[in-house]
């Protein structure tokens, strides 16, 4: 069975299993980014979060990010899993794992991936505060998309 | 007839996760105008349109059978 | 029992346990760096590696790095475990986990930590090639220390 | 008498992991010279000295009871 590198799941994410997906004999560095549900944001307390995705397109966009990364950092291998549904404080929402022969590319490609997820992957977060709830808009505050659409290639 | 998928606050505003509209062969821009004027959708400026799971330009044409989705600013990660 | 954030061990490193050490309700981002044994380096094939440490000083120097990071990125929490002894290809030699309310600091502090480990933590690597073996010198190629000693504070 | 811990290639060259030398109240620089001249240690320029688990300056003085270690360029990570 071909291992899926880009997934949207509804269950807790198995971090070591994701790391395993990018492990290679030629890789000396693996970076991971683990995005967790934070309790406090600018003085406001989150009780829980709800994530929704346009699943097939979200997976497709993660593969677009993979292609972009392969062009910029040719020796890297990347895997991403994003969880959706209801998540509590400290639950893991997203994990990105990148392997590379050398560490610099593993850091850079990983950070690039999370930035791009926040730009082009159709996943939405609903904050449930103590006193209300709201679907969050673009967290990058580049409202809306200046060029009329998210930049897919640079 | 085209099917339009809704997400996040759009889904809650509409009370359902898709719309079926008697439209076709219109541009993305025309679709957004129609949604704003005839269906009272607000903040259409901030909404991206995807056709068949790809972000579409405002001049792209929506045809019979296309899967159209309204994509509010994303907030994953 | 107080959990040790900085360790030199001889057994395989438990990555999720290390991540747990830095998990906090106010943290929204955790980065990890996993340094693995690479098979190929500049066309030369490694068969296995051997790490040796001056253990008490290594732990002390990791705590110095912790202090440096706390000054530069006050909201971060970091844990480091380095394994020593014989390691085979793809085995994990070092894991660094950093948590932070926001991701930028988690990436920056993590990368800073691995750079500093390679500068001031007394751990040595012996490469066992197919045709010989050698203790590696300073991999940063800043031979020796220009100021007469490794820079402890910037 | 001071005890000097050896690591990596120094340990292999000496065939043991520490030395006991009849020295004390000397500077780090003097220790390095002595090791080079009297004990045939090579590449002393690249070796750092730690006293009591802290990197020492070449002018620092080694006293009776100090734990001294010779630190070749490190290669962890």
The pLDDT confidence band at residue A138, using thresholds 50, 70 and 90, is low
Domain of residue A113 covers 6-138
With 90 as the cut, is the pLDDT of residue A95 above it? yes
CATH code at position C44: 3.90.1170.40
Query: Distance from C90 to chain A by nearest Cα, in Å?
Result: 6
State how beta strands A77-83 and C77-83 pair.
unpaired
Task: Work out how many CB contacts closer than 8 A connect A with B.
Answer: 91
Contact C31 A110 (CB under 8 A): yes
Which partners does chain D have (≥3 C-beta pairs < 8 Å)? Answer: C
pLDDT digits (tens, 9 = 90+) for A42-88: 888 999 999 999 999 999 999 999 999 999 999 999 999 999 999 99
Name, in order, each residue with C-beta under 8 angstroms of A115's C-beta and a sequence gap of 6 or more: none
Which pLDDT band holds residue C131 (cuts at 50, 70, 90)?
A: confident
| Shortest alpha-carbon distance between residue C26 and chain D (Å) | 29
Q: How far apart are CA A151 and CA A144, in angstroms?
A: 12
**Residue ranges of domains in chain B:** 2-71
Cβ-Cβ contacts under 8 Å for A63 (sequence gap 6 or more): A6
Interface test with D, best of C50, C58, C114, C122 (most D CBs within 10 A): C122
- List beta partners, residue C78: C98
The pLDDT of C41-57, averaged and rounded, is: 94
Mean pLDDT, chain B, integer:
93
Q: DSSP 3-state assignment of B61?
A: strand
Which residues on B lie below 8 Å from A35 (Cβ)? Answer: 77
Helices C103-120 & A103-120, crossing angle to 10 degrees? 180
pLDDT band at A112 (very low <50, low <70, confident <90, very high): very high
What is d(CA D71, CA C142) in angstroms, rounded to the nearest whole number?
15
Query: For residue B32, how far is the Cα from the chain centroid?
Result: 7
Neighboring chain A residues of C40 at a CB cutoff of 8 Å? 25-26, 101
Query: Higher model confidence: residue A139 or residue C99?
Result: C99
Q: Are A124 and B74 in contact (CB under 8 A)?
A: yes
Contact C149 D48 (CB under 8 A): yes
Amino acid D42: pLDDT: 80
Sort strands A40-41 and D67-71 into parallel, antiparallel or unpaired: unpaired
CA distance A37 to A47: 10
Burial class (CB in 10 A: 0-12, 13-18, 19+), C149: buried
* CA angle (A16, C5, A35) in 5-degree steps: 45
C143: confidence class by pLDDT, cuts 50, 70, 90 = very low
Average pLDDT over residues A120-145: 77
Residue D69: C-alpha distances to residues A154, C82, C139, D54, D59 (Å): 52, 20, 21, 9, 16
Confidence (pLDDT) at C154: 38
Q: Is C33 on the interface with A (CB under 8 A)?
A: yes
Residues from chain D contacting residue C124 (CB–CB below 8 Å): 7-8, 72, 74-76
* CB B63 within 8 Å of CB B57: no
Task: Reply yes or no on domain D2-71 having CATH 3.10.20.30.
Answer: yes
Average pLDDT over residues C108-126: 97
> Cα(A128)–Cα(D20) distance, rounded to whole angstroms?
67
* Option in A24, A31, A33 nearest C29 (CB): A33
Region C143-148: mean pLDDT is: 40
Alpha helices by DSSP H, listed for C45-87, are 55-72
Identity of the residue in C82, C149, C150 whose CB atom sits nearest the CB atom of D76: C82
The percent of chain A in helix, strand and coil, each rounded to the nearest 5, is 30, 35, 35
Amino acid A145: pLDDT: 40
Local confidence band at A17 (pLDDT 50, 70, 90 cut-offs): very high
Sign (positive or negative) of CA dihedral A150, C28, A15, A72: positive
Cα–Cα dist D5/A7, whole Å: 51
Report DSSP state, residue C11: S
> In chain B, what residues touch A124 (CB-CB under 8 Å)?
7-8, 72, 74-76
Q: What is the pLDDT of residue A144?
A: 39
Of all residues in chain C, the percent with pLDDT exceeding 70 is 88
Identify whether the C-beta of residue B35 lies closer than 8 Å to the C-beta of residue A132: no
- Number of domains observed in the structure of chain A: 1
Contact: C30, A34; criterion CB under 8 Å = yes
Is C69:C61 a contact under the CB 8 Å cutoff?
no
Return the higher-pLDDT residue of A113 and A149: A113
CB contact, 8 Å: C74 with chain A?
Answer: no
Write down the pTM of the prediction.
Answer: 0.91
**Distance to chain C for D28, nearest Cα, Å:** 11
Hey, what are C139's tokens?
Answer: 């991999």
Chains D and C touch (3+ CB pairs under 8 A): yes
Secondary structure of residue C121 in the 3-state scheme: coil
Task: Tell me the chain A residues in contact with residue C14 when contact means C-beta distances shorter than 8 Å.
Answer: none
Which of A23, A39, A111 lies nearest to residue C90, judging by beta carbons?
A23
User: CB of A4 within 8 Å of any CB in chain C?
Assistant: no
For residue A60, the chain B residues in CB contact (below 8 A) are 53-54
CA distance A113 to A45: 27
pLDDT in tens, D2-51: 999 999 999 998 899 999 999 989 999 999 999 999 888 888 889 999 99
C105 near D60, Cβ under 8 Å?
no
pLDDT of C41 reads 82
Tokens 């889904």, residue located: B11
String of DSSP letters for A108-124: HHHHHHHHHHHHHS-EE
C139 and C51 Cβ atoms separated by less than 8 Å: no
pLDDT computed for residue C138 by the predictor: 57
The answer to the question of residue A14 being in a domain is yes
Give the residue from B51, B35, B47, B38 showing the smallest Cα distance to B9.
Answer: B47
ipTM for the whole complex: 0.90
Q: D77 pLDDT exceeds 80?
A: yes
Interchain proximity A25–C38, CB inside 8 Å: yes
Over 50: is that where the pLDDT of D71 sits?
A: yes
Q: Which two tokens stand for residue C133?
A: 């073996």
DSSP assigned state of D77: -
- Dist. CA A151–CA C44, nearest whole Å: 41
Q: With touching defined as 3+ CB pairs under 8 A, do chains D and B touch?
A: no
pLDDT at A34 over 80: yes
Give me the pLDDT at residue A20, please: 96
Write the CB contacts of B42 (distance below 8 Å, at least 6 apart in sequence).
Answer: B36
Residues of chain C neighbouring A28 (CB-CB closer than 8 A): 35-38, 41
Give the range among A144-153, C29-38, C66-75 with minimum mean pLDDT.
Answer: A144-153
- What is the per-residue pLDDT for C139? 54
Distance in Å, alpha carbon of D9 to nearest chain C alpha carbon? 6
Say whether B8 and A126 touch across the interface (CB within 8 A).
Answer: yes
Neighbours of D15 (CB within 10 A): 7
D7 touches chain C (CB under 8 A): yes
What is the model's pLDDT at position A153? Answer: 44
C137/D75 CB distance under 8 A: yes
- Grade residue C80 by pLDDT with cuts at 50, 70 and 90: very high
Task: State the pLDDT at residue A110.
Answer: 98
pLDDT value of residue C145: 40
**pLDDT given at position B69:** 98
Are A103 and A28 contacting, i.e. CB atoms less than 8 angstroms apart?
yes
- Candidates C69, C86, C88, C89; CA nearest to C78 is C69
Query: How many Cβ atoms from other residues are within 10 Å of residue A14's Cβ?
Result: 14
């Amino acid at each position: 069975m071909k291992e899926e590198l880009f997934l949207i799941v509804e269950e807790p994410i198995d971090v070591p299993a994701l790391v395993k997906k990018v492990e290679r004999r030629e890789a000396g560095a693996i970076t991971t980014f683990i995005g967790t549900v934070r309790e406090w944001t600018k003085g406001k307390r989150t009780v829980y979060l709800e994530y929704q995705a346009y699943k097939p397109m979200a997976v497709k966009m993660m593969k677009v990010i993979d292609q972009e990364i392969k062009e910029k950092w040719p020796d890297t291998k990347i895997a991403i899993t994003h969880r959706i549904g209801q998540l509590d404080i400290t639950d893991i929402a997203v994990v990105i794992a990148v392997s590379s022969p050398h560490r610099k590319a593993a850091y850079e490609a990983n950070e690039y991936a999370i930035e791009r997820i926040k730009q082009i992957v159709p996943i939405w977060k609903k904050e449930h505060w103590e006193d209300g709830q709201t679907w969050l808009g673009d967290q990058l505050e580049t409202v809306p998309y200046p060029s009329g659409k998210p930049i897919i290639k640079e | 007839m085209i099917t339009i998928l809704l997400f996040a606050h759009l889904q809650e505003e509409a009370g359902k996760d898709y719309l079926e509209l008697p439209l076709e062969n219109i541009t993305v821009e025309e679709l957004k105008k129609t949604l704003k004027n005839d269906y009272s959708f607000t903040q259409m400026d901030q909404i991206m349109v995807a056709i068949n799971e790809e972000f579409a330009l405002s001049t792209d044409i929506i045809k019979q059978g296309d899967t159209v989705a309204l994509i509010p600013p994303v907030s994953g990660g």
